[in-house]
Structure 1
Amino acid sequence: MFANKPVPLLSFTTKASYSQFSTAIFHPFFSSLRANPSLFQTKQAHAHIIISGLAGNASLMGHLLTILALSPSTPFDYSQSIYQTITNPNVFASNNMIRVQLHGHVVKLGFGEDVYVRNALIHLYSSCCKVESSKKVFDESPYNRDVITWNAMLAGFARDGRVDVVESMFDEMPERDVISWNTMIMAYVHNGKLEEGLECFRRMRGIGLIPNEATLVTSRLLFDKMPQRDISTWNVMICGMASHGRGKEAIALFERFLNEGIRPVNVTFIGVLNACSRAGLVKEGKRYFKLMTDNYGIEPEMEHYGCMVDLLGRAGLVSEAIEMIENKVVSPNPVLWATLLCACRIHGLIELGENIGNKLIELDPSYDGHYVQLANIYAKSRKWDEVIRVRRLMAERNTIKLQVGA
């Protein structure tokens, strides 16, 4: 009942004489005031504390300072006088005094509605385990929030172990970023909800959001604690490791996957081959590609060929990659040739790069990236006339730029 309406302190004191007071009698009143700060009732509580002989109690006075920090109209001199009555102020009381100063100055200087300042205040209270204070600041400006505001509140409730509130707020968020997802996953982990955490990770990848390193570490903790894992769970972890350049870990996970007798599918091998490519493991990549076709009868798709071409190209084995494209790929995708063109430029294969560049321009004459790559190859070999020719051709054909994320 204390959450909605302040309770007069006298309703507690009439049942006990001042001599019978203990610190416990004030806690319900403090809970009420934290939800609805009132300077008048805070002063009333202060008066009763003095009369009861508990004015030197650092914990009680610290709670008073917390409430004063939530009431911007509180005179700083009054807060300071309370702080000075504490004989040996502890960290709790000192931190609350700092918050009183900071929050009060923010309001007086007119920055109370600034979203960046409010975000900092929410983070400040949450970091000090004062999540209800954070929520009060959050609720004061329902139309002045950004994703950072929401993330700060999610982190506060997650730190407080209130995963149900984190779930509710996460669902209400108008937009989410990687930090939002990571906070939700961490809340599940710390509360032992492993299945929910991994499902959150799956959803994150499902919407095309690349998880950050912290999310991946958290998800691996979830994965290792799970008593049972399905094929989807394994694929999520293998592909996640690969996309973050942790190729050797992804491959070790895949070997463990095989040892448990699970049959890999098409997506599993995309993750494994991508891991080999990023880690420069040519021998292993070739072996897994052969394993996929010979042992499991999986017909390679464009994504598998793309991983292999990238793997061979990074290793400088461009001729071998060309042979694979020409002999095995029915309808080569321009992306495969573009991958090789980039490899030619990196490894200084000028003549081969020239041939691939011209082939790409034939396949996809409207994309300017192919012209730029070919011009760069000519520039590397100091063929300036050819650079000018390619640039002119590019202008004549009115090529387009591929948008980032397209």
Structure 2
Amino acid sequence: MYAKGGAINDARKLFEKMPRRDSVTWNILITQLTKLNKIDKARELFDQMPDKSVRSWTAMIAGYVQCGKPKEAVDLFKQMEEAGESPNEVTVVAVLAACADLGTLDLGCRIHEYLDKCGFMKNVRVCNTLIDMYIKCGCLEIARSVFDEMEERTIVSWSAMIGGLAMHGEGEEALKIFSKMTRVGIRPNAVTFVGLLHACSHMGLIAEGREFFTSMTRDYGITPELEHYGCMVDLLSRAGLLSEAHEFIKNMPIKANGVVWGALLGGCRVHKNIELAEEAIEHLQVLDPLNDGYYVVLSNIYAEKGRWEETARVRRLMKDRGVKKTPGWSSVTVNGEVHEFVAGDGNHPQAEEIYQK
């Protein structure tokens, strides 16, 4: 009760005084600690557990995913396997989400095989997470096959497929899926419209994008959020309608964020509009001052126009404000273990051996 009420310190003290603690008590406290983002404390408690059930492992793995630590989630899942504990449906949902974040396709595929053997593929949430994992790992065809084989689909299933198709440049197919969805009586939600607007943006379907944006409120009573506004600005900017995109931003009922102004800046980069690019940067310097990407885009626009003094000025501005270019990074899975690398970083424990090759 203490833990669920948020009084975690009182709950911890009470827990320490308990002469006998069952797994349910341990699991509740671990879950509440992860919800409060106290992931290290949760892990400390987890490691002290004398007997870990599948729910204990799942609570800790899911906690890592919720706290933005997918690598730790995957590592712990492997420890769970080594301990001989079989995952349940909740476990695999958490691990698949971690695989999606890391792009660890091999583990995701292995879990997919496990799901088939255990009969978990009838679980809609499991299938939805599996679709998301394959989409984020670039395996659109497999994601589509999972989607097509589902006996039951929720709006999450449809929206994931629409968004995935749009993300991978299959905008026309995304619109077909939407038409099929509406024919079977599924009402779109806010996430669905993000995918549809992305599809229209990548295909240059201006009229269709405007209609989708309008229909959100008119037909479905969905209030557009910043992400929808950002998609519309991206749609107009990609098409070269920069003045209209600018007016659209100014008339937004909510304050534009860095993503919205960044979409306009991206259009200015493609269509060489320095004036609007400079205005976008003025806003971005306030909204997202340490994002090096925006400065680099403006610098490149100046360079392409041969305005070298302005290019140098932007570089000086970055230096003066302490904005550093973000180094590239990548990850690779070897023998089931995820290794992360950052450009110019030699801190990997096997760095000497790696660079010799």
TM-score range, shorter chain: 0.5 to 0.7
Q: Distance in 2 between matches of 1:391 and 1:211?
A: 34
The sequence identity of aligned pairs, in percent, is 42
Shift of 1:363: 4.0
- Corresponding position of 2:109: 182
- Corresponding position of 1:248: 172
Q: Distance in 1 between matches of 2:113 and 2:167?
A: 21
Q: Distance in 2 between matches of 1:266 and 1:297?
A: 10
- Corresponding position of 2:128: 202
Q: Distance in 1 between matches of 2:251 and 2:88?
A: 54
Contact 1:379-1:387 within 8 A present in 2 as well = yes
CA deviation string 1:328-369 (max 9, x = no partner) = 142110221122112111112223223323343344444333
Matches within 5 A, 1:1-400: 177-185=104-112, 188=115, 194-196=121-123, 199-204=125-130, 211-214=136-139, 216-400=140-324
- Corresponding position of 2:13: none
Closer, same or farther in 2 for the Cα pair 1:363/1:187, shift >3 Å? closer
Q: Distance in 2 between matches of 1:211 and 1:391?
A: 34
Aligned length: 242
What amino acid maps onto 1:185 in structure 2? H
Q: Distance in 1 between matches of 2:87 and 2:295?
A: 53
Contact 1:341-1:356 within 8 A present in 2 as well = yes
Q: Distance in 2 between matches of 1:274 and 1:234?
A: 15
**Secondary structure at the counterpart of residue 295 of structure 1:** helix
Q: Distance in 2 between matches of 1:253 and 1:228?
A: 15
Gaps of 5+ in 2: 1-73, 79-85, 330-357
Shift of 1:391: 1.8
Closer, same or farther in 2 for the Cα pair 1:222/1:398, shift >3 Å? closer
Q: Distance in 2 between matches of 1:294 and 1:404?
A: 43
Contact 2:169-2:199 within 8 A present in 1 as well = yes
What amino acid maps onto 1:211 in structure 2? K
Contact 1:282-1:312 within 8 A present in 2 as well = yes
Shift of 1:211: 3.1
CA deviation string 1:194-252 (max 9, x = no partner) = 424x543433577x8853343x3233223223343222222222222222222111111
**Secondary structure at the counterpart of residue 169 of structure 2:** coil
Closer, same or farther in 2 for the Cα pair 1:295/1:247, shift >3 Å? same
TM-score between the two structures when normalised by the length of structure 2: 0.58
What amino acid maps onto 2:111 in structure 1? M
Rg (Cα) greater in structure: 1
Gaps of 5+ in 1: 1-145, 151-163
Shift of 1:288: 0.8
What amino acid maps onto 1:273 in structure 2? L
Shift of 1:397: 1.9
What amino acid maps onto 2:129 in structure 1? R
Shift of 1:377: 1.4
CA RMSD of aligned residues (A): 3.7
What amino acid maps onto 1:195 in structure 2? K
TM-score between the two structures when normalised by the length of structure 1: 0.51
Higher relative contact order (CA 8 A, sep 6+): 2
Contact 1:189-1:218 within 8 A present in 2 as well = no
Q: Distance in 2 between matches of 1:384 and 1:302?
A: 35
What amino acid maps onto 1:212 in structure 2? C
Closer, same or farther in 2 for the Cα pair 1:192/1:252, shift >3 Å? farther
Closer, same or farther in 2 for the Cα pair 1:343/1:388, shift >3 Å? same
Shift of 1:401: 4.5
What amino acid maps onto 1:254 in structure 2? F
Shift of 1:257: 0.9
Closer, same or farther in 2 for the Cα pair 1:371/1:240, shift >3 Å? closer
Contact 1:166-1:187 within 8 A present in 2 as well = no
Q: Distance in 1 between matches of 2:127 and 2:302?
A: 45
